[in-house]
Amino acid sequence: MDTNISLYSKHRPMQLDEVVGQKHITDTLKHASQNNWFVHAYLFSGNRGTGKTSTARILATLMTCDNPVNGKVCGKCRACTTIPKDASLDVKELDGARNGLVDDIKILIDSARWSPIELSHKIIIIDEVHRLSKGAVSALLKILEEPPSYLTFILCTTEIEKMLDTITSRCQRYNFKRITVKEIAQRLKEIAEKESILVDSDALLLLAKLARGSMRDAISSLGQVATFANSEKISVGVVQNCFCISDQHAIINIVKSIIESKISLLLDQINDLIVASVDVSQIMFEISEVFRNIMLLKAQKGKRDLVDLTDNEIEVLEDIGKALTSSQLLKLAHIFSNIEKKMSFNINERWIMEATLINCIATLRSNNQ
């Protein structure tokens, strides 16, 4: 494995077909390329790590490539060799979180008023566009209303609800979905094989789950655990040790203790995880995720469409869920709904976690009476 460049940068997609989990978007953009139906402004929204910026760069390359074929860039022309390296004079990127002031946007827009220097088109990519200041948004809106024919904006955001309607209405909008565990695990497997990283399939699934829908986080984690393993084969245990996370069996046992009202055993189980340096927020997330998946399995009555787990994991949860009613699960959801806010403002996260889980036991008891 090349240690001079991050795995994510090394394996960033270069073609639309390489973008994982967003076929509804990549197919549309391929058709646009084939028919030359590009527009002057795009808005990519979705969770972090789902491919927004990578797709924006591919789209920029596709729009300026000398010889695109069936929605694929040639990989040889000026656009294909400079844009992926952020070396093109006609494709500019701005991080709205760091450079979102009105002066930053004005400088960018002033440069955009000149015709392209080396490519057929000028493209401005703005990441985290919702973080722009009010003055910057006003300046952006002005040029979005009447853009030069050679200019295209590609706006990316993780918080679409913060975008002004006046901006979104002038863009062709694409919603990036969370990438499934199976899709992430498959991509990690491909990267591991290319990099000669020895890793168990169960370890890949765990890394995929930890990423919570973010391909970028998953690939970065694979690189980190590969360094931690130091050429040894990566197992589930190695991943757990590297990131100080709990064994899934331990989480299942905690859930069982809650359902069976075993407070003393529950506190012992929590203590074991704390001693092992497992992050408190990670413990709470995994416990809440178990209850959520049980609720979904009950609600779907045998269907498994919304639960991103293996068949064996689903069978375990279905068995545990027999002791719970939908009403009880809804009450547990209410308890967990504010836990993150409580933890973020409390100096003793462990105490809040213990109190919350004991409250879960009390809630289940009262519902049984």
* pLDDT digit string, tens, across residues 15-59: 999 999 999 999 999 999 999 999 999 999 999 999 999 999 999
Q: Are 52 and 19 in contact (CB under 8 A)?
A: no
Mean pLDDT of 278-303: 86
Alpha-carbon gap, residue 237 to 247, rounded angstroms? 8
- Choose among 149, 79, 78: nearest CA to 113: 149
Residue 367's beta-bridge partner residues?
none
Stronger pLDDT, 333 or 4, i.e. the higher one: 333
Alpha-carbon gap, residue 144 to 142, rounded angstroms? 6
* pLDDT digit string, tens, across residues 308-347: 777 788 888 889 999 999 999 999 999 988 777 666 666 7
* Confidence grade of residue 14 (pLDDT, cut at 50, 70, 90): very high
Q: Which residues, other chains included, contact 49 with Cβ-Cβ below 8 Å and sequence gap of 6+? A: 179, 211, 213, 214, 215, 216, 217, 218
Please give the pLDDT value at position 190.
95
Please give the pLDDT value at position 142.
86
| Domains of the chain and CATH, by start | 7-176 (3.40.50.300), 181-243 (1.10.8.60), 248-368 (1.20.272.10)
Which range is least confidently modeled, 78-87, 186-195, 309-318? Answer: 309-318
* Confidence grade of residue 139 (pLDDT, cut at 50, 70, 90): confident
Which range is least confidently modeled, 7-16, 142-151, 336-345? Answer: 336-345
Q: Is the pLDDT of residue 65 over 90?
A: yes
- Choose among 11, 273, 340, 42: nearest CA to 175: 42
* Confidence grade of residue 135 (pLDDT, cut at 50, 70, 90): confident
Give the number of other Cβ atoms within 10 Å of residue 302's Cβ.
7
Please give the pLDDT value at position 343.
67
Give the number of other Cβ atoms within 10 Å of residue 82's Cβ.
18
Strands of 122-127's sheet, edge to edge?
Answer: 91-95, 122-127, 151-157, 41-46, 172-176
Give pTM, 2 decimals.
0.81
C-alpha 174, offset from chain centre = 16
